[in-house]
Amino acid sequence: MKKTSLAIGVDIGGTNTKFGVVTKRGRILDEGAIKTSEYETVESFIEALHENLMPIIEKHQSRQEIKGIGIGAPNGNFYTGSIENAPNLHWKGIVPLTKLIEDKFKIPAVINNDANAAAIGEQTFGAGKGMQDFIMITLGTGVGSGIVVNGKILYGNHALAGELGHTIIRHNGRKHWSTGLRGTLESYCSATGIALTAKKMLKKEDAPESLLSQYTLKDIDSKAVYDCAMKGDELAKNVYAFTGKVLGEALANFTMFSSPDAIILFGGVTKAGDLLLKPTKESMESHLLDTFKNRVKLIFSELKEADAAILGASALVWEIKENL
C-alpha cells in the first residue's frame, strides 16, 4: 500500500513555538510546543526543537511519509530560507533557518513569514479555498498581511511584499512605538493600537460611567477593552467603532490596489465580532470607488486560532511541492 503523506508545521512566535504533524487535509495528528524565548542561540533552539519534535515524527514515519517541514516565523523570507532581523526574537541578523533545520532533521524545509503562512493556511484549509485573489489581514499584537494574487502569494522584490500593517492611513497621525512611522495601520488596528485608542478616549472624554474607568491606565489592554465591550460599555464599543473606521478605510485602499475576491480577517482582535466587522465594512464600502462597491467579501478566518498557525506552516510544504 502506498504511504500517505504528512507535513510538519512549525510556528515560531516571539514567546512560543508550536509544532504539529498534519495531514494533507488539515487534520493535526499530534502536536507540541517549546518556549522560543528560552533559547538565546538559534542552535540551542534547533536542538530543543529536534528533541521535542523527533519523537512524534518517528511515531508517524513508519507508516506515513513525511514530505517536509513548513515553518512560519516573523520576518521569515521564502526566497532566502532565512529569518531576517526579526525584532521579537533573540537571534539577531540573518538566521539561515531552513538550512539549519534540514541539516539537523534531514527533511526538506521551507519557511515563510507568519502572515504569508496564515494566508496559505487559509487558502489550503479555510475561508480562502478556491479563491484566486484574497488578502489576509492578521490583527494581533501587530497587524500582518498575506496577499494572494492569481492563486499565489505575492512576494515582490526580495520577498518583502505584504507589509500592509505599516502603510499610512492617517497622514501625520499616531506615532508607531517601534517603527517611528506616523499614522500606520498597525498603530491603530493592532491589539496595542486598540489599547492606545481606549486610553486616548478615556483621557479625552472624561467618562466616569465607563467600565474602563475602573482600570488604572496602565492596566488597559485590548483584553480589558474587549471585556468591557462585551458587557455593553459604550466607550469600549466606541473604541471598536473607531478601529473599524480606520481599518475599513485601509481595506478600501487595498481593494483598489489588487481587487481581491475577499479580505479575510484573522487574529485575537477579531474576537470582537460584529462590534468590529460592522463599522469596518461600512467604512470600507464608503471609501470605495463605485465599481468596487459590494463586490469584495469581508469575512473572518474559518480556522480555529489555536490550530491556524500550525496548519498554515504545514501548508507551506504542499505549496512547495506544487511549485517544483
- The residues pairing with 168 across neighbouring beta strands, listed in sequence order, are 184
Is 300 a residue that touches its own copies (CB under 8 A)?
no
Whose Cβ is closer to its own copies: residue 1's or residue 289's? 289
Count CB neighbours of 43 within 10 A.
Answer: 12
Whose Cβ is closer to its own copies: residue 35's or residue 158's? 158
Contact between 198 and 225 under an 8 Å Cβ cutoff? The reply is yes
Of 170, 223, 278, 321, which one interacts with its own copies (CB under 8 A)? 170
DSSP at 155: -
Is 224 a residue that touches its own copies (CB under 8 A)?
no
Q: What are the Cα distances from residue 46, in Å, to 36, 43, 51, 52, 101?
A: 10, 5, 9, 10, 7
Is 214 a residue that touches its own copies (CB under 8 A)?
no
Is 181 a residue that touches its own copies (CB under 8 A)?
yes
Whose Cβ is closer to its own copies: residue 9's or residue 260's? 260
Q: Binding string to its own copies for residues 143 to 162, with x set by CB under 8 A, is what?
A: ----x-xx-x-xxxxxxxxx
Query: Of the candidates 66, 81, 90, which has an alpha carbon nearest to the alpha carbon of residue 9?
Result: 66
Which secondary structure element, helix H or strand E, spans residue 294, and what is its range?
Answer: none
Q: Binding string to its own copies for residues 126 to 145, with x set by CB under 8 A, is what?
A: ------xx------------
Of 163, 221, 234, 302, which one interacts with its own copies (CB under 8 A)? 163
- What would the grid cell of residue 51 be? 528533541
Min dist. Cβ of residue 172 to its own copies (A)? 10
Is 282 a residue that touches its own copies (CB under 8 A)?
no
- What would the grid cell of residue 255 be? 481593494
Is 41 a residue that touches its own copies (CB under 8 A)?
no
Min dist. Cβ of residue 87 to its own copies (A)? 10
Contact between 37 and 7 under an 8 Å Cβ cutoff? The reply is no
Query: Of the candidates 44, 56, 65, which has an alpha carbon nearest to the alpha carbon of residue 1?
Result: 65
Positions 72 through 111 that interact with its own copies (CB under 8 A): 85
DSSP at 4: P
What distance in Å separates the CA atoms of residue 92 and residue 193, rounded to the nearest whole number?
A: 26
Is 167 a residue that touches its own copies (CB under 8 A)?
yes
Query: Which residue ranges make up the site for its own copies (CB under 8 A)?
Result: 85, 132-133, 147, 149-150, 152, 154-164, 166-171, 179, 181, 249, 252-254, 256-261, 287, 289-292, 295-296
